[in-house]
Amino acid sequence: MSSLNIPQKASISNGVNNFVEQLDRELRLRNYSRKTRESYCRCVNEYITVVGNPLPYQQKYVEDFLLAKQEKGLSPQTINLYLNAIKHFYREILALRQRINIKFAKRSKKLPIVLSRQEIQALLATITNTKHKLMIALAYGAGLRVSEIINLYASDVLIDELTLHIKEAKGKKDRITLIPEKLKDDLRALLAGKKGSDSVFASERGGKLTTRTAQKIFEHALQKAGIQKSATFHSLRHSFATHLLENGVDVRYVQELLGHANIRTTQLYTQVTNPMLKNIKSPLT
C-alpha cells in the first residue's frame, strides 16, 4: 500500500492563498463551524496581506496590526477575533512553539437590549405573514438565536412534549428548550405534511430561510411597531432570558435553556431585572 501524500506545515515560499487553504482544511478537520472557518480565514488572509510574509514570527507585527484595527474603531470583540485567528494560524499551521504573549482586548460591558412584554406584543401585531409571525414568536418564546431558528427541522420539534431539540448550536452543543403552549396549534399546522428533514421555516423558493431574511423580517416589524430601541433579532433571546428571571425562574434553569457554558454569561441578565434597583425611588420629587 502506498503511503499517503500528506503535505507538510506551510513553508516560507507558500503564497497567501495556500496558507488560507491550509487553515480552512485544518479547521474543517477539527469540525469548526462554517461561520468560524470563514471568519478565521478572512482575518488571517487580511493579516498576511497587510503584514507580508509572517515568518519568522514577530510580536510587533501582530501588535501593530491589532492597534491599527483599534484605531479604526473596531470593537474589542472583533479585535479578539483577529487575535484568536492569528494565534491559531501560527500555532497550528506554522507550528510556532514560541508563546504569543498578547493580552486579549478588554470587552465592553454593555447591558443587553431587552424589549418589554408590551413591545414584544406590539412587534408581533405588525407581522401579517403567518409563518413570519410564528418564527419571531418562537424565537422569543424559546430563546433562540437567529441561526438556530433558521436551522430548525421538523424532527427537532416535539409538539406534544412542548420542547425543541436544538442541535449543534454555538460551540457544537445540543440542548433542549421549551415551546410556548400558545404556539402549539400554529406549529402543528405549519408542520402538517412535512418530513422530519424539512425546514420548519422554509423559504418560498424551497430550503431554509437565510439569516439575513430572518433579520430583515424582525427589523421591518420593529420599525413598523415604532420601537426606538437599537434592538436586533438577538434581542428576542435577551428578552426571553430577562422575562424568565422576572417571573422568578432560577438563573441555573435559564442557563440550561439558553445553552450558556458559564453561568456568569446568564447572570448578566440579572443586572437588567434587579427588582431592588427598580424599586428605589429617585430623590427628585
Which residues are catalytically annotated?
145, 170, 234, 237, 260, 269
Where would I find the H helices in the chain?
16-29, 34-51, 59-71, 76-88, 117-125, 130-142, 146-150, 184-191, 211-224, 235-246, 251-258, 263-267, 270-273, 275-278
Unique residue bearing C-alpha cell 445553552: 259
- Name the grid cell of 250: 432560577
Cis, bond preceding 76 (omega within 30 deg of 0): no
CA distances from 82 to 6, 54, 86, 257, 285 (A): 28, 15, 6, 30, 50
- Between 16-29 and 34-51, two packed helices, what is the crossing angle to 10 degrees? 150
Q: Cβ distance 44 to 90 under 8 Å? A: no
- Name the grid cell of 115: 424589549
- Name the grid cell of 177: 428548550
Question: Sheet harboring 175-178: ordered strands across?
Answer: 157-158, 163-166, 175-178
148 contact partners, CB below 8 Å, separation of at least 6? 166, 169
